[in-house]
């Protein structure tokens, strides 16, 4: 870390650790053992187990129950989550843009997304393997932690592994 001639902070990229050949071979072997499952199939299976698509209710109060509506919801959720957009999703899946836009407008809202997330989380919490990985109150989604100096609105000490020792502010 250094300051450049203009006074801007320059942070050098982290170096990647070498992955042992055994780990690479094991990863390849395990990957070959897993069946390929299209994302749509996974979302359909997830709905069968959790009922998360039923959480997407019409803004006027109607329940989402028809197979066509569930199909449309999956297409809308994929379009939004993959940053594909409804126009490109309509081209890709054969459902008209108007149908996808209507579904998105009337069914996909903050409260329905929150309810669907909670349905999935509730199901996950009931799985037998879940408690082995902790209480579920913390996430290490990307597994990266970076030490910081000084006070920051977006950084804090990670209490589970002990706080980092205080460091001097950058000069």
Q: What's phi and psi for 115, nearest 5 deg?
A: -65, -40
pLDDT, tens digit, for every residue of 123-171?
A: 999 999 888 887 766 666 665 666 666 666 666 665 544 444 444 444 4
- Mean pLDDT (the chain, rounded): 84
Q: Beta 9-10 vs 2-3: how paired, if at all? A: antiparallel
Neighbours of 52 (CB within 10 A): 24
State both tokens at 11: 């942070």
- Percentage of the chain with pLDDT > 90? 57
Q: Which of 4-8, 29-33, 70-74, 136-140 has the lowest mean pLDDT?
A: 136-140
Q: What's phi and psi for 166, nearest 5 deg?
A: -60, 140
State both tokens at 163: 């706080």
- Percentage of the chain with pLDDT > 70? 77
Q: Is it the case that residue 86 has pLDDT exceeding 90? A: yes
Helix (H, G, I), strand (E, B) or coil at 10: strand
Confidence (pLDDT) at 2: 83
Confidence (pLDDT) at 126: 93
pLDDT, tens digit, for every residue of 98-112?
A: 999 999 999 999 999
Q: Is it the case that residue 37 has pLDDT exceeding 70? A: yes
Confidence (pLDDT) at 79: 97
Confidence (pLDDT) at 90: 97
- Calculate mean pLDDT across residues 2-9: 86
Q: What residues does each domain of the chain span? A: 37-125
Do 116 and 56 form a contact (C-beta atoms < 8 A)?
Answer: yes
143 closest CA partner among 119, 121, 164, 161: 161
């Amino acid at each position: 870390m250094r300051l450049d001639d203009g006074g801007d902070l320059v942070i050098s990229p982290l170096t990647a650790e070498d992955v042992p050949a055994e780990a690479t071979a094991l990863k390849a072997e395990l990957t070959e053992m897993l069946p390929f499952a299209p994302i749509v199939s996974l979302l359909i299976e997830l709905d069968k187990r959790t009922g998360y698509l039923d959480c997407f209710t019409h803004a006027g109060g109607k329940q989402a129950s028809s197979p066509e509506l569930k199909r449309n919801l999956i297409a809308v959720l994929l379009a939004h989550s993959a940053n594909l957009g409804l126009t490109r999703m309509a081209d890709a899946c054969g459902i008209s843009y108007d149908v996808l836009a209507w579904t998105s407008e009337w069914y996909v809202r903050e409260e329905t997304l929150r309810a669907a997330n909670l349905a999935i989380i509730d199901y996950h919490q009931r799985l037998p393997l879940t408690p082995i990985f902790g209480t579920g109150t913390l996430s290490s989604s990307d597994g990266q932690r970076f030490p910081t100096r000084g006070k920051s609105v977006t950084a804090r000490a990670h209490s589970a592994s002990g706080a980092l020792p205080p460091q001097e502010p950058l000069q």
